[in-house]
Amino acid sequence: MKKILSFIFTICGILVCIPSISCTSVIVSGKATKSGRPVIFKNRDTGNLNNRVNWKKGEKYSFIGLENASKTTTEEWGGTNEAGFCIINTASYNIKDDDVPDSKMDNEGVLMYKALGVCATISDFEKFLDEYPRPMGVETNFGVIDAEGGAAYYEVNNTRWVKYDVNDPAVAPRGYRVQTNFSECGRREDYQGYERYLTASAIMDDLWKTAVDGRMDIDAMWLVNNMSRSYRHEVLGVDYNKNYDRMAESGAFNGTAVDQDFIPRRITSAVISMDGVKKGENPLHTVMWTTLGYPAAVVTLPLMVCDSDRLPEYVKSTGKNHSLLCDIAMNIKMKNIFPDTLSNGKHYVRIDAVLKGINGRPSLLDCCKEAENDIVKSFDKYYSNWVSGKISDEKFYSKYVSDQGEWLKTYRKEFDTYIK
């Protein structure tokens, strides 16, 4: 029956309207990770596909944040600051309960920009929400972790907020929580993104089954690889990552699928997945693993707040307000994953290019794996020495900056046949 449903879904192209802003997120408490560090993850879906990362000096704290690259902005769509405060959001479509016009809404990015500049803890954030001018201009789920072990979601509309503490077993009995595009305290008939919620929850549930003493072997990069690069569809009961060959051999799949309700989608513009710190550790040890572009078309990089702007130039904007890294990824994506050669081409995804490779080239996920193996291995070596106190801040920052050129070279090398 599942094969029949999948076949009908693909042949008929059952395409429904979806919100233009709709993300998938996860928070994992430090109590549930093997490392003891909390993790926060956001797969960003938006019509603004050209993204960048910038370093900024806020009212109290400097921070790095994910931005739309099209203009100078005071909006952040997730980020972390020098106090170890990390924030993300997912759009909600079922919690607004007033007549505030659309022209005064969609200010989530502005709120996160301001919060990153002044908040150090989840308590600070709660005070910040209480004092924020009404109407707040938001309908969203904010996710936050801090350097004190805090981890929580906040479902927020124009006048009020509801907290879900991921450290509370009554709220998150397994130590993690998934949020997509509905608020639990809102109207059930207006849920959006529930299909992705089911898939993300199933992925986390599978990992939890392997936990030892309640702690999972999970970090920020695990979430990038197992969420943003997953072609599992819980509603249809298929997982192309695991069953590609069997489905292709049986004739149930020809390498192309309808791009609907996977976690990574055509409108996925970036991923930020942050490893926080344990209480008492240096908040600057927080790492924002960042994927600028469609996750299967670009390498994921470790970005740091640092004591000044030490971000790679290619993740920031060029003179044309474009990120070089994001531009390369966009080119790979549009030529190979969403070639748009049919009348409804933009609704179909070439999973064969992602998982198996086409025209004699390696799969895009193999390219990601090879590039990231080199980058992560190199970074982890001097990062772990810095965290353990074996090298100074100065030596860490020096190595961090000098390696950035090699990261771009590694990306270009592994994706060479797709970049040409």
Based on C-alpha coordinates, what's the Rg of the chain? 21
Q: How many CB atoms lie within 10 A of CB 212?
A: 8
Q: Which residue has the tokens 């819980």?
A: 234
Q: Which two tokens stand for residue 58?
A: 């806020």
Task: Look at the pTM and tell me if it is higher than 0.85.
Answer: yes
Q: 2-324 adopts what CATH topology?
A: Penicillin V Acylase; Chain A (3.60.60)
Q: Which residue has the tokens 């029949």?
A: 4
Strands across the sheet containing 79-81: 51-57, 62-68, 79-81, 86-91, 140-145, 151-156, 161-165
Q: Which SS3 state, helix, strand or coil, does residue 9 take?
A: helix
Tens-digit pLDDT string for the chain (420 aa): 334 333 333 434 344 444 567 899 999 999 999 999 999 999 999 999 999 999 999 999 999 999 999 877 799 999 999 999 999 999 999 999 999 999 999 999 999 999 999 999 999 999 999 999 999 999 999 999 999 999 999 999 999 999 999 999 999 999 999 999 999 999 999 999 999 999 999 999 999 999 999 999 999 999 999 999 999 999 999 999 999 999 999 999 999 999 999 999 999 999 999 999 999 999 999 999 999 999 999 999 999 999 899 999 999 988 788 899 999 999 999 999 999 888 888 999 999 999 999 999 999 999 999 999 999 999 999 999 999 999 999 999 999 999 999 999 999 999 999 998
Domains of the chain: which residue ranges? 2-324
Q: How many CB atoms lie within 10 A of CB 156?
A: 24
Total H helices, total E strands in the chain: 11, 17
